[in-house]
Structures are given as structure tokens and as C-alpha cells.
Amino acid sequence: MVQIVPSILSADFARLAEEVARVERAGIAMIHIDVMDGHFVPNLTLGPPLVKSLRRTTNLEFDVHLMITDPDQFAPLFIEAGANQVSVHQEACPHLDRTLRLIQERGARAGVVINPATPVSTLEDVLDIVDHVLVMSVNPGFGNQRFLPRSLHKIRQLDRIRHERHLDFQIEIDGGVSRANIGDIVRAGCDWLVTGSAVFESADPAATVKEMQQLAGEATAVKV
């Protein structure tokens, strides 16, 4: 089922539990948590203690996106803190196969992320072990950037490969997702649509999520 996954990056960090509760009322299953280390991307966000605190306030699934240079060291800490799934960047992992297996051994679903400049072909040898693939549709580091349309081509490629190879990984997109492009993204074959500023900077985040869910559902209905 296609899902809208709100990213807390654009939420008010001083009222995080409340912000999560607001979007939870829209009937979502998962929230997206962006971890940035100031090295892999030029921004800093949060660490395991915050995830642990937030874990006590909600039963929603935690989709943790690690934009850090050392995922092997920190992924286990985020899983202990309550992450249900962890995504690591292909560009940050010289031993990607090992890192993905480490995440799964520690009890979380493992995803791989590709930046806009990284082709899908670099994932050929891990697609049979990943639980999901996250396609960045902006250069990571900040919310509220413009969607890069070439990412739609990557979604189509991944959808085709999973059919051809009979694989069942989920396809996720992150960056610049809005009401305007949801239809195209879903029709390209995407399952999970991460959205930050479009939701949390709107007047009524829950209503916005519901509207996005409806648009995604309509696009699913016409998918051929």
C-alpha cells in the first residue's frame, strides 16, 4: 500500500511529541527521522537520545535516515533507541553488504539510499538483500528544496528491476514531495513518499497528510 511518511525535519523540535501526535491522527503508519552529522551533509540534527525519548510517546514506526559518515558505528545505537528501519547511504558505505546485514541482524529493516548523482546500477548487487531503497529527489541536508524530476526515472528503473528479478523491496522517495508531484511519483512505482515541509509548514498538517493520502490513493487506482 502506498504510504505518506511525514519527515519531522520540518517540525517544531521544541514540541516534537505534539507535532508527531498531530500527524498521527491522519492515520499514518510511519514517521521519517533525519539524522545528519555535519560531515556527510552540511547540517546537524539529532542523535539516539532523542529517538529514545520520542519512542516513549508513539507507537508509529520509525524510519531513520542516516546521513552520516559512519553508519556502522551508529546504526546499532539508533536501533536500540527504537528505530524500526534504518537507511544508509550507498555513498557512505564502502562495505555496504556488511552494513545492511548488520542492521538486519540487530533487528531492524535495512534500506539503502542513493543521492541524485548516484545511479541505480550501483545497487545491483544488494537489491536481493535490502528491505527498501530510498531515492533522494533532492541533495540531502535540508528540507524545502525543489524536487529533481530525474528521480522519477530511478523509481521506474527500480520498479522494473524488482518485477524482473522477482524481488519485494519497497521503493521510497525523499525530498520536494508535494501535492503537485504525488501522482507522478506513485504512477512511477513508488511505495513510500517522505514529505517534510509540505506537511509541517502547512496550516493543518493532519489535513495535508490526509489530502496527500487521497491523491496517492487516486494515483494507485489508475496505475497500469
Q: Work out how close the CB of 183 gets to ligand DX5 at its nearest, in angstroms, rounded to a whole number.
A: 16
136 φ/ψ angles, rounded to the nearest 5 degrees = -80, 125
Q: Which stretch binds ligand DX5 (CB under 6 A): 91-99, 125-133, 142-150, 206-214?
A: 142-150
Q: Does 34 bind Zn ion (CB under 5 A)?
A: yes
Contacts (CB under 6 A) with ligand DX5, residues 8-37 = 9-10, 32, 34
Q: Which of 34, 37, 63, 131 is catalytic?
A: 34
How many CA atoms lie within 13 Å of 86's alpha carbon, on the beta-carbon side? 30
Q: Does 209 bind ligand DX5 (CB under 6 A)?
A: no
Strand, helix or coil for residue 123: helix
Q: Does 37 bind Zn ion (CB under 5 A)?
A: no
**CA distances from residue 77 to 71, 102, 156, 210, 215 in whole angstroms, order as listed:** 10, 12, 34, 33, 36
Among positions 85, 195, 208, 213, the unique one binding ligand DX5 when judged by CB under 6 A: 195
Site string for ligand DX5, 112-141 (x = CB under 6 A): --------------------------x-xx
Contacts (CB under 6 A) with ligand DX5, residues 54-73 = 65
Q: Does 65 bind Zn ion (CB under 5 A)?
A: yes
Which option in Zn ion, ligand DX5, none does residue 46 bind, with CB closer than 5 to 8 A by kind?
none
113 and 88 Cβ atoms separated by less than 8 Å: yes
Q: At what angle do helices 48-55 and 16-24 cross, to 10 degrees?
A: 50
Strand, helix or coil for residue 187: helix
Would residue 37 show up in a list of annotated catalytic residues for this protein? no
Q: Does 191 bind Zn ion (CB under 5 A)?
A: no
Q: Work out how close the CB of 43 gets to Zn ion at its nearest, in angstroms, rounded to a whole number.
A: 11
Would residue 34 show up in a list of annotated catalytic residues for this protein? yes
Find, among 40, 36, 2, the residue nearest to 194 by Cα: 2
Residue given cell 539510499 in the structure block: 113
Find, among 221, 222, 144, 215, the residue nearest to 179 by Cα: 215
Q: Which of 37, 63, 174, 191 is catalytic?
A: 174
Cβ neighbour number for residue 213 with a 10 Å cutoff: 18
Single-letter amino acid code for the residue at 55: R
Residue numbers at the binding site for Zn ion (CB under 5 A): 34, 65, 174
**Residue positions annotated with a catalytic role:** 34, 174
Residue numbers at the binding site for ligand DX5 (CB under 6 A): 7, 9-10, 32, 34, 65, 138, 140-145, 174-177, 194-198
